[in-house]
Structure 1
Amino acid sequence: MSMNPRQLQAFSAVMRAGGISRASRVLHLSQPAVSKLIAGLEGDVGFPLFRRDKKRLSPTAEAHIFLAEVDAILNGMERLRRVSADLKNTRRGHLTIGTIATFGLTLLPEIIASFQKTSPETSVHLHVQTSPKLLDLAHTQQLDIAISMLASDSPAVQTETLMQCRAVCVLPSGHRLAGKDVIVPRDLEGEAFISLGETDRVRQLVDRAFEQENIVRKMVTSTQFGMAACEFVRCSNAVTVVAPMTARASVNRDLVIKPFRPEVVLDIKLLRPRMKPPSSVRESFLRHLRDCLERWNLSHP
């Protein structure tokens, strides 16, 4: 049996149009061409699909049963064409993205949402994890990409610097230091200080800056998330030092953000598992990610 899609299209058109003449107009073919396709299909299936009575075609009972299967095949072929076009144009696919909270709770949702507007058939699963956990997930090839504060030393993971930024000091509105251009560790001596968790890379770099200046802070609260630290600043008249993406989130517009010196430079790393199959959707998303960072004037290495 060697039936082809043109034969099936001709058969479906004749069944729906009620004859070869009308079907030929629908298909933009001549009547002899349609008749030849129908005759070839009957030869391939091995039984008549139409009764010929005075140059009229009447579908057989078998033709009505056959039509349901033909329509299913034609609809499936149309879906395949749409899927292949989407894949070619990177509009369809799935991404599993791992990220630190600093990025995943601030910039990344907007970046993903804007990407999906141009690639609506692309689904995304977002993992918000600590940097050490992201290294493990990348090493075991469970992610398409990861955004981390730590580089991977695994040969199974490609690491590059996505961007660099500098930690900032966050103050409540009306704070006594709000008028200063730059905040230094000595300014914060005796101030109620909200810290990040001890394993957080930002926390470790900020601690080092204070230790180098021999400044002892009044540590009142620690939290895993920078967004929570900013909320504590708002509620308790305390201060914190966090990544700029966290401080400048839209929910923190009522807080005062100041440069912090000495500079606490944060390297944001992009991790790509080497064993994952190449994906045009992943590469398209990475181009979009970099375009967004550039448009928002976030510094690149």
Structure 2
Amino acid sequence: MSQINLNSLKSLVIFKTLYETGTATRTAKDLSITQSGVSRSLAQLEENIGMPLFIRHKKRLVAMPEADELYSEILALLGNLEEMKHSIVALREFGASRMRLAAVPGLGFAFVPKIIAAVLQINPSYNIYFDIMPSSEVVRAVESGHFDAGFVTLPVNSQTLIVDKICEVEAVSLIPLNHSLASKDIITIEDLQDQHLVIPNQPNLAADQLLMQIAQNNIRISGKTEANIAAICSLVANGVGISLINPITAYDLAALDRVVIKPFKPAFNYSFGLVYKRNWSGNQLIKLLKENLPDIPA
């Protein structure tokens, strides 16, 4: 196939108008150019594509079948250009319109969906892909470029990511409503004697600290159930045991008519952050994520 040279969008616009009007005179008037300019543009276009487009008949130009097809293609092209113009305006106003977002389970089931909902209230045209995974996987996914940003458990060690701390909270006790400890104001490490614990089955700093405290204080527990954090609240509500959990997850997922949430001493802290690559640092979507954080349970 021989090479086709289309010098400019202007020649295609002239052809489109000429096709619609049927005369060089009307085309020149509509486009505010000279009639000779219209004729030169058509001759150049026909030479560049290697075929005639019109038949001259009684001072009018009759479009050939090839012109019919080219006209349809040009309409599609100009439509795409119009869409591109709207996209550029949106980019200028809102920044990138697509984001792949990940979050740790402790924030992923309600906290981050609330953020996404708030952002989409501001601009419904954003496209967000959202997934939940362990904190270490969130970091790797953002570092590798498979995701653009992620909510993680801190601390995070990364040489390539910006890490913005979003909150720090104290772990709370999650207790079945009819449990013997449910009436206490504060749960202590000593209260765990002979209790069955429900703990996360994935790496969890507070759970690790709790088990260390139990060992250091010679606390004997009756047993433990390890589960995905999404199931912990349900297990506690069904009387399996008691748990130590971050308050965001506790208030988001717990059936508050079947469990009670109590402070725990000594305090174990959870810190959460938002990670993203440096090229996203000035992005409007990142800004909106940080500006629309839900209220943190006290």
- Bucket of the pairwise TM-score, normalised by the shorter protein: 0.7 to 0.9
User: Post-superposition shift, 1:167?
Assistant: 0.9
Distance in 2 (CA, whole Å) between partners of 1:189 and 1:22 is: 94
Q: For residues 222-262 of structure 1, give each alpha carbon's deviation from its aligned partner in whole angstroms, at most 9, with x where no partner exists.
A: 11x22211111111252111111211115533332122222
In the other structure, the counterpart of 1:146 is: 150
User: Post-superposition shift, 1:289?
Assistant: 2.2
In the other structure, the counterpart of 2:169 is: 165
Pairwise mapping of residues 279-290 of structure 1 onto structure 2 (< 5 A)? 279=280, 283-290=283-290
CA gap of 1:19–1:251, structure 2 versus 1, over 3 A, is farther
User: Post-superposition shift, 1:53?
Assistant: 5.6
Q: For residues 169-202 of structure 1, give each alpha carbon's deviation from its aligned partner in whole angstroms, at most 9, with x where no partner exists.
A: 1122233333333222233333332122373223
CA gap of 1:91–1:273, structure 2 versus 1, over 3 A, is closer
Q: Give the TM-score normalised by the residue count of structure 1.
A: 0.77
Distance in 2 (CA, whole Å) between partners of 1:179 and 1:36 is: 94
Pairwise mapping of residues 50-61 of structure 1 onto structure 2 (< 5 A)? 50=54, 56-61=60-65
CA gap of 1:34–1:52, structure 2 versus 1, over 3 A, is farther
Distance in 2 (CA, whole Å) between partners of 1:204 and 1:22 is: 81
* Contact 2:174–2:243 (Cα < 8 Å) also in 1: yes
Structure 1 residue ranges without an equivalent (≥5): none
In the other structure, the counterpart of 2:238 is: 235
SS at match of 1:69: helix
User: Post-superposition shift, 1:75?
Assistant: 2.1
CA gap of 1:182–1:10, structure 2 versus 1, over 3 A, is farther
CA gap of 1:184–1:88, structure 2 versus 1, over 3 A, is same
Distance in 2 (CA, whole Å) between partners of 1:182 and 1:42 is: 86
Distance in 1 (CA, whole Å) between partners of 2:115 and 2:204 is: 24
Distance in 1 (CA, whole Å) between partners of 2:114 and 2:32 is: 57
In the other structure, the counterpart of 1:292 is: 292
User: Post-superposition shift, 1:55?
Assistant: 5.6
In the other structure, the counterpart of 2:93 is: 89
* Contact 2:200–2:229 (Cα < 8 Å) also in 1: yes
Distance in 2 (CA, whole Å) between partners of 1:298 and 1:170 is: 14
Distance in 2 (CA, whole Å) between partners of 1:35 and 1:250 is: 73
CA gap of 1:233–1:17, structure 2 versus 1, over 3 A, is farther
Structure 2 residue ranges without an equivalent (≥5): none
In the other structure, the counterpart of 1:206 is: 210
Distance in 2 (CA, whole Å) between partners of 1:182 and 1:10 is: 80
Distance in 2 (CA, whole Å) between partners of 1:286 and 1:251 is: 29
CA gap of 1:260–1:45, structure 2 versus 1, over 3 A, is same
Q: Is the aligned partner of 1:42 residue 2:42?
A: yes
Give the residue type in structure 2 aligned to 1:253: L
* Contact 2:96–2:283 (Cα < 8 Å) also in 1: no
Give the residue type in structure 2 aligned to 1:177: L
In the other structure, the counterpart of 1:259 is: 263
CA gap of 1:296–1:40, structure 2 versus 1, over 3 A, is farther
* Aligned length, in residue pairs: 289
Q: Give the TM-score normalised by the residue count of structure 2.
A: 0.78
Pairwise mapping of residues 213-224 of structure 1 onto structure 2 (< 5 A)? 213-223=217-227
User: Post-superposition shift, 1:35?
Assistant: 5.0
Give the CA RMSD over aligned residues.
Answer: 3.5
Q: For residues 5-53 of structure 1, give each alpha carbon's deviation from its aligned partner in whole angstroms, at most 9, with x where no partner exists.
A: 45534543453466789889xxxx7576485664343133146755566
SS at match of 1:252: coil
In the other structure, the counterpart of 2:12 is: 8
* Contact 1:92–1:120 (Cα < 8 Å) also in 2: no
CA gap of 1:64–1:141, structure 2 versus 1, over 3 A, is closer
* Contact 2:233–2:254 (Cα < 8 Å) also in 1: no
Distance in 2 (CA, whole Å) between partners of 1:298 and 1:35 is: 73
* Identical columns (%): 21
